[in-house]
Structure 1
Amino acid sequence: MQVRRAGPADLPALLALEQNFPGDRMSARSMRRLLAADSAAIWVARSGGLTLGSLVLLTRRNSAVARIYSVVVDPAARGQGIAGRLVNAAERHARLGKKALMSLEVRADNAPARALYRRLGYAETAVLRAYYEDGADGLRLRRPLSG
């Protein structure tokens, strides 16, 4: 398995992964903008010529906080540690950019993702009522990047 920074040639595979979301999907236009932005990094996990997962990381120049905006793993590849490897790559990138804290939002009803983030050291810091497009609640999670 290879985890690497995505480029424009990865756009079709990234959009195919987005189809795994029931809602709140990123458009091709949004994905192209993120691929070109200095304030974003997209990571892909690939194996056997297939893109099995992706992660979108957002940063701001004058902020010590990096934000995981999206993590998607192909349903057929879940349970293989792909999301954890993507998060680790994003954390390394954020540390290199002198970020002190990683933040993300996750659906309150997404027990597998919540368990993953808990294992990786993320703590729930806020409940976000009706945060998602379908009215589902979200949770804000954070993790210090020191050490």
Structure 2
Amino acid sequence: MTADPPVRLAQPADAGDIAAMSRDLIERGLPWTWRRDRVLAAIRDPDTNVAVIRVDGALVAFGIMEYLEADAYLSLLAVRGTSQRSGFGRSLLRWLEASARVAGARRIRLEARRDNVPARTFYNELGYHEVAIRHGRYSDGVDGVLLEKWLRTSPAP
């Protein structure tokens, strides 16, 4: 792991790399929906944080978190295969969690494919709890697992 990987907000120039990584790592075998224009819209959306980690100019990790009324929703999080298990995902998620706290979110919700055991284990180890199964959620018939992590239980001041 690198010491304190440099997490930063994405810039419009990052959109193509993020879209390609989503296609290759998250949406593999599914219809590709997070194309460059959708990522660019998320980067420009004031209710969404798109965070990236680049090392030597190469995108190694990204996350997209949307802020809803009282909750945050982690839409996507990916780490390039050669950089997995190096702490990048953990650092990125911690950064996004800190941002959600500052934004006043009471919890973070996300969904993972039921057959993606490494992702579910990753989130479980970081305090996310599996709360529901969404049968046939994905276009290939795979179930989704809804996970959540409570950041606070009392209303924001």
**TM-score with structure 1 length normalisation?**
0.92
Q: Given that residues 24 and 132 in structure 1 are in contact (C-alpha distance below 8 angstroms), is that contact kept between their aligned partners in structure 2?
A: no
* 2:144 partner letter: G
Q: In the alignment, which residue of structure 2 is the partner of 1:14?
A: 18
The share of aligned pairs that are identical, in percent, is 27
Q: 1:72·1:83 contact (CA, 8 Å) conserved in 2?
A: yes
Match of 1:48 in 2: 56
**Residue identity in the other structure for 1:78:** Q
Counting only pairs closer than 5 Å after superposition, residues 22-101 of structure 1 correspond to structure 2 as 22=28, 23-25=30-32, 26-60=34-68, 63-101=69-107
* Runs (4+) off by over 2 Å: none
Question: Could you tell me how far 1:24 is from its partner in structure 2?
Answer: 4.7
Partner of 1:18: helix, strand, or coil? Answer: helix
Question: What runs of 5+ residues in structure 2 fail to find an aligned partner?
Answer: none
The 3-state SS of whatever aligns with 2:62 is strand
- Cα distance, 1:133 vs. partner? 2.3
CA contact (8 A) 2:20 2:35 kept: no
Deviations 1:64-108, CA, capped at 9 Å, x for gaps:
110000011111111112111111111111100011101000011
The count of corresponding residues between Structure 1 and Structure 2 is 145
Q: Could you tell me how far apart the structure 2 residues matched to 1:94 and 1:24 are?
A: 29
Deviation string, structure 1 residues 27-51 (Cα, Å, up to 9, x no partner): 1121111111111110101112211
Q: Which residue of 2 aligns with 1:113?
A: 119
Kindly report the root-mean-square deviation, in angstroms, between the aligned alpha carbons of the 2 structures: 1.4
**Which whole-Å CA distance do the structure 1 matches of 2:35 and 2:16 have between them?**
11
Asked whether the 8 Å contact 2:72–2:100 carries over to 1, the reply is: yes
Distance 2:63 2:52 in 1: 7
* Structure-1 separation of matches of 2:23 and 2:35: 10
Structure 1: stretches of 5+ with no match in the other structure: none
When normalised by structure 2's length, the TM-score is: 0.87
Matched AA of 2:44: A
